[in-house]
Chain A
Amino acid sequence: MSAKSLFVAKGITKSFPGVRALSGVDFRVDAGEIHALLGVNGAGKSTLVKIISGVYAPDSGQMLLDGEPFRPRNVAEAIERGIAIVYQERTLIPYLTVAENVLLGYEPTHLSMLNDSKLRASARELIERLGVRLDLDREVRRLGEGERQLVDILRILRGNPKIIILDEPTAALTQTETERLFSVLRRFREQGMGIVFVSHRLDEVFSITDRITVLRDGKVVNTTRTNAITKRDLSRLMVNREIALHNPSERKVSTDNILLDIRNLSGAGFVECSLKVRRGEVVGMAGAIGAGRTEVLETIAGVRRPEGGKILLRGKEVALRTPEQAVINGIALVPEKRAEKGIIERLSVRDNLALPSLRQFSRFGVVLSRKESQSVSRIIERLGIVTPGIESQVRNLSGGNQQKVVFGKWLLAFQDVRDMIFLFDEPTEGVDVGIKAEMWSIIRDLAGRGAGVIVVSSELEEIMYLSDRIYVMREGKIVKHTRTSETTQEELLHSMLATIEAGSAI
């Protein structure tokens, strides 16, 4: 290689309790290149990035920066040596201006008095280096996301970085903002910096990067020049083909009884989505993060307002304006991020499980605690929830058991699940292997007893195991619709990340 290697990592290994995040990873960034880091969730991208930026130390392996050994003990050291990272979340002070934010911590002062004109001049100089136009005096809270990101980039430029790492930088950007970001990155490339571009979006990777490294299950699967590989091959590399596809035995063939019929539904984050769920069916929704699946589910569950289209429930059109209305209509949502959206941490297991069902347990507004406790105990037993007692705080339970509580409260609320709709958003996120298997059988069981189920998951294996049919969403639209038996994980991944394909109507 004639290009100068700015950064070299060899044999990086990192484990956490119970999981080997990275094994023997080799990774190299040259001067004047944009290098993409690809991989599905959990492949190890963020661990690698954290090791390079000084958050973690590797268990074994070496790193060289500019030819010198590089073992940062903390983030500040990594920054000092020239590694800069632009996170997905902004690190800005909303009420300060662009100039004030860019130079935060580096203000030119004279005896503690801020030198405003010098500050603005320095900020202007940095902005010119970037080649963009930004209003120095505008409060950052009034900027669009794209411009805020530019301010973050300007901040890291102060340290004269050699390597810039961008973590999913285009997730929240419009098309124009993305273009602008790319021209900035090209400028950096011309200036000889090395850029690491962590992303899901294959289109963008092919448009801006020079080389690609694919991680899978903590190992480097391939490092190649971008122009030497196709999107299809890339998808194939990203997916783990070693897990056998569980083909569940004879599923109950769906009747034509359509429980949920969504037609051209639009809302914040998705447009013109149409899908159907029949009694006894599990329907999977695949897609990358940000594709809009959670938004669709939350709209069905009455959490969000739709902006267009209709929802037909059991044949009748409904307007679900609040979650309460959705529940009354027999729709249960088991949300993602259970700590935020699913459980009330401070309350007991009993309180959490009984919450939607309190009316069943009360007379004249007073809760009959014996009836409540009995029903709660039954659910705990039935689902196998491991807890010291029903009065224990739910936050003390393991992730998997918490997830069972989130689901259990609906089981308690809907005595008979036939014709009810269950929406699962990442049902096994942060759940250990044993409970994961239990959740899978619980979900299939629900369908078996006549409910209609939608499962949103980032794990293709999970979607393929659970679903009878799969919809793939990409950037707010449904781009593919297929029977599980007629597709593969690679095809799903390809649809998730690449161009829109014509789906087959079923």
Chain B
Amino acid sequence: MANSRMKTEQRMPEPQAWREKFSVGDILGTYGTVIALLILVVVFWILAPQFISSNNIINLLRQISTLAIMATGLTVCIAAGEFDLSIGNVASLSGIVVSGMMVRQMEPAWMAILVALGCGVVFGLFSGVLVSYLRIPSLVATLGAGAIAVGVNFAYAKGDSIYGVFPSIFSFLGQGFVGPIPFAVIIATAFVIVFYIFLNKTRPGRYIVATGGNPTAARLSGINIKMYRLLGLLISGVSAAVAGIMLTSYLGTGQPTAGEVYLLDSLAAVFLGMTAFRPGQANIAGTLIGVLILGVLANGLNLVGAPFYLQNIIRGAILIFAVSLAVMREEIRFF
């Protein structure tokens, strides 16, 4: 994951000297966020011994699996240099569609899942085309696409929740276990691994990173940056749809706004992740740490009986702190 930093045989020229001085800070920069996670774990362990129980850990992992899927998809999108603000809405839509298809249209689970994924594809492509080919800034395009997704959502189910009996094979996705491990955790883990490999070890993944890193240089190297931006948005859209499906399976009902809250958390996880391993660069491993931090926080605060609003305050504070640290060291630049 982290690059092995071989000692360079050459003397760094003067302007970069400050980077040498920071070599301890380098380690802190690379692993600081991981250390923060470990500290959090220890703190909660002390405050609530049951935090470390296998029961709770399994619980925690299942709790973060939806976020992990969504944040991973968002990571790829941000790595391509674009934002996707529609993921919450797309997740909600996909959840409503998958549950509605099974309960109201009486379609088999695989069909419902296919259609719900299709929603993710459609909205991902839609945003992608707006951004890549119509040159609309992603912040605006995805905000609009998200609003449209909400509209489609309400058009389909009128804003009602969808109650009914899901086919057991569908419920297994979110509620089932393989031995002691929730199936949802297995799916989320697979998701993260697949996209880690995609972003770091495949050519399209490399080109996505190049497009986000310096679009001009990427274009001059013959990379089709339009295509890779679109791919980034497509991936975040589809991931959101997958997350919505998983969430619905766990909840057992179709909730029209179930996915909304995940947008902020996903962004927080990705930004937190940008301070770890490859400071300044959106990366899957870092996002995973971010997701874990958020999950540990939520779970831990719950266990110690903290009032629920404290969650939001602490979450916000951590996000600000993490990003400021990186901005101060000039590792992240937001234009």
Give chain B residues whose Cβ lies under 8 Å from the Cβ of A114. 201-203, 206
Nearest-CB residue, chain A, relative to B278: A95
The reply on B53 being an interface residue by CB < 8 A is no
Nearest-CB residue, chain A, relative to B15: A144
Nearest-CB residue, chain B, relative to A75: B220
The reply to whether A95 and B281 form a contact with Cβ atoms under 8 Å apart is yes
Give chain A residues whose Cβ lies under 8 Å from the Cβ of B16. 142-144
A262 to chain B, nearest CB (A): 25
The reply to whether B210 and A113 form a contact with Cβ atoms under 8 Å apart is no
The reply to whether A105 and B5 form a contact with Cβ atoms under 8 Å apart is no
B2 to chain A, nearest CB (A): 11
A137 CA to B7 CA in the complex, in Å? Answer: 10
> In chain B, residues 111-169, which have Cβ atoms closer than 8 Å to a Cβ of chain A?
none
A177 CA to B10 CA in the complex, in Å? Answer: 11
A271 CA to B248 CA in the complex, in Å? Answer: 67
> In chain B, residues 1-38, which have Cβ atoms closer than 8 Å to a Cβ of chain A?
3-6, 8-10, 12-16, 19
Give chain B residues whose Cβ lies under 8 Å from the Cβ of A177. 13
A174 CA to B280 CA in the complex, in Å? Answer: 27
A96 CA to B211 CA in the complex, in Å? Answer: 11
Give chain B residues whose Cβ lies under 8 Å from the Cβ of A144. 12-13, 15-16
Give chain B residues whose Cβ lies under 8 Å from the Cβ of A174. 13-14
Contact flags (1/0) for A88-99 with B, using CB distance below 8 Å? Answer: 001111111100
The reply to whether A137 and B278 form a contact with Cβ atoms under 8 Å apart is no
A112 CA to B203 CA in the complex, in Å? Answer: 5
The reply on B209 being an interface residue by CB < 8 A is yes
Give chain B residues whose Cβ lies under 8 Å from the Cβ of A147. 10, 13
Give chain B residues whose Cβ lies under 8 Å from the Cβ of A135. 6, 8-10
The reply on B221 being an interface residue by CB < 8 A is yes
Give chain B residues whose Cβ lies under 8 Å from the Cβ of A136. 6
The reply to whether A95 and B15 form a contact with Cβ atoms under 8 Å apart is no
The reply to whether A93 and B3 form a contact with Cβ atoms under 8 Å apart is no
> In chain B, residues 287-303, which have Cβ atoms closer than 8 Å to a Cβ of chain A?
none
A142 CA to B204 CA in the complex, in Å? Answer: 24
The reply to whether B201 and A116 form a contact with Cβ atoms under 8 Å apart is yes
Give chain A residues whose Cβ lies under 8 Å from the Cβ of B213. 93-96
Give the total of A residues in contact with B, Cβ under 8 Å. Answer: 34
The reply on B305 being an interface residue by CB < 8 A is no
The reply to whether B202 and A113 form a contact with Cβ atoms under 8 Å apart is yes
The reply on B217 being an interface residue by CB < 8 A is yes
The reply on B223 being an interface residue by CB < 8 A is yes
Of A94, A97, A112, the residue contacting B202 (CB under 8 A) is: A112
The reply to whether A104 and B209 form a contact with Cβ atoms under 8 Å apart is no
The reply on A241 being an interface residue by CB < 8 A is no
The reply to whether B13 and A176 form a contact with Cβ atoms under 8 Å apart is yes
The reply on A264 being an interface residue by CB < 8 A is no
Of A97, A104, A109, A113, the residue contacting B3 (CB under 8 A) is: A97
Mostly helix, strand, loop or mixed at chain A's interface? loop
Give chain A residues whose Cβ lies under 8 Å from the Cβ of B216. 91
A85 CA to B13 CA in the complex, in Å? Answer: 25
The CB with the most chain A CB atoms within 10 A, among B3, B10, B202, B216, is that of: B10
The reply on A133 being an interface residue by CB < 8 A is yes
Give chain A residues whose Cβ lies under 8 Å from the Cβ of B12. 144
Known pairs A91-B220, A93-B217; A107 contacts B6 (CB<8 A): no
The reply on A100 being an interface residue by CB < 8 A is yes
The reply on B40 being an interface residue by CB < 8 A is no
> In chain B, residues 202-240, which have Cβ atoms closer than 8 Å to a Cβ of chain A?
202-204, 206, 209-210, 213-214, 216-218, 220-223
The reply to whether B223 and A104 form a contact with Cβ atoms under 8 Å apart is yes
Give chain B residues whose Cβ lies under 8 Å from the Cβ of A96. 206, 209-210, 213
The reply on A26 being an interface residue by CB < 8 A is no
> In chain A, residues 125-143, which have Cβ atoms closer than 8 Å to a Cβ of chain B?
133-139, 142-143
B218 to chain A, nearest CB (A): 7
Q: How large, as a class, is the contact surface on chain B?
A: 20 to 34
The reply on A298 being an interface residue by CB < 8 A is no
Contact flags (1/0) for A132-163 with B, using CB distance below 8 Å? Answer: 01111111001111110000000100000000
Of A95, A105, A134, A138, the residue contacting B223 (CB under 8 A) is: A105
A273 CA to B6 CA in the complex, in Å? Answer: 42
A104 CA to B6 CA in the complex, in Å? Answer: 21
A90 CA to B19 CA in the complex, in Å? Answer: 20
Give chain A residues whose Cβ lies under 8 Å from the Cβ of B210. 93, 96, 104
Known pairs A105-B223, A143-B16; A137 contacts B202 (CB<8 A): no
A114 CA to B3 CA in the complex, in Å? Answer: 16
Of A93, A113, A133, A146, the residue contacting B13 (CB under 8 A) is: A146
B88 to chain A, nearest CB (A): 28
The reply to whether B206 and A107 form a contact with Cβ atoms under 8 Å apart is yes
Give chain B residues whose Cβ lies under 8 Å from the Cβ of A137. 3-6
A328 CA to B19 CA in the complex, in Å? Answer: 38
A113 CA to B197 CA in the complex, in Å? Answer: 9
Known pairs A133-B10, A137-B4; A104 contacts B221 (CB<8 A): yes
A96 CA to B280 CA in the complex, in Å? Answer: 12
Nearest-CB residue, chain B, relative to A107: B203
Give chain B residues whose Cβ lies under 8 Å from the Cβ of A143. 16
The reply to whether A138 and B5 form a contact with Cβ atoms under 8 Å apart is yes
B185 to chain A, nearest CB (A): 26
Give chain A residues whose Cβ lies under 8 Å from the Cβ of B13. 144-147, 174, 176-177
Give chain A residues whose Cβ lies under 8 Å from the Cβ of B4. 137
Give chain B residues whose Cβ lies under 8 Å from the Cβ of A116. 201
Give chain A residues whose Cβ lies under 8 Å from the Cβ of B217. 90-93, 104
Of A90, A107, A112, A133, the residue contacting B9 (CB under 8 A) is: A133
The reply to whether B214 and A94 form a contact with Cβ atoms under 8 Å apart is yes
A134 CA to B280 CA in the complex, in Å? Answer: 23
Nearest-CB residue, chain B, relative to A133: B9
A92 CA to B203 CA in the complex, in Å? Answer: 17
Give chain B residues whose Cβ lies under 8 Å from the Cβ of A176. 13
Give chain B residues whose Cβ lies under 8 Å from the Cβ of A94. 213-214
> In chain B, residues 155-207, which have Cβ atoms closer than 8 Å to a Cβ of chain A?
201-204, 206
A146 CA to B4 CA in the complex, in Å? Answer: 22
Give chain A residues whose Cβ lies under 8 Å from the Cβ of B221. 91, 104-105, 155
B40 to chain A, nearest CB (A): 27
Nearest-CB residue, chain A, relative to B79: A95
A142 CA to B18 CA in the complex, in Å? Answer: 11
The reply to whether A93 and B209 form a contact with Cβ atoms under 8 Å apart is yes
A105 CA to B221 CA in the complex, in Å? Answer: 6
Contact flags (1/0) for A260-295 with B, using CB distance below 8 Å? Answer: 000000000000000000000000000000000000
Nearest-CB residue, chain A, relative to B201: A114
Give 10 CB contacts A-B under 8 Å: A94-B213, A96-B210, A105-B222, A109-B202, A109-B203, A112-B202, A133-B9, A135-B10, A137-B5, A174-B13
Residues of A participating in the B interface, judged by any CB pair closer than 8 Å: 90-97, 100, 104-105, 107, 109, 112-114, 116, 133-139, 142-147, 155, 174, 176-177
- Closest 3 A-B residue pairs measured CB to CB? A105-B221, A93-B213, A144-B13
Residues of B participating in the A interface, judged by any CB pair closer than 8 Å: 3-6, 8-10, 12-16, 19, 201-204, 206, 209-210, 213-214, 216-218, 220-223, 278, 280-281
Known contacts A105-B223, A147-B13; can you find 12 more A-B pairs with CB under 8 A? A93-B217, A95-B280, A97-B3, A104-B218, A105-B222, A109-B203, A112-B203, A135-B6, A138-B6, A144-B16, A145-B13, A155-B221
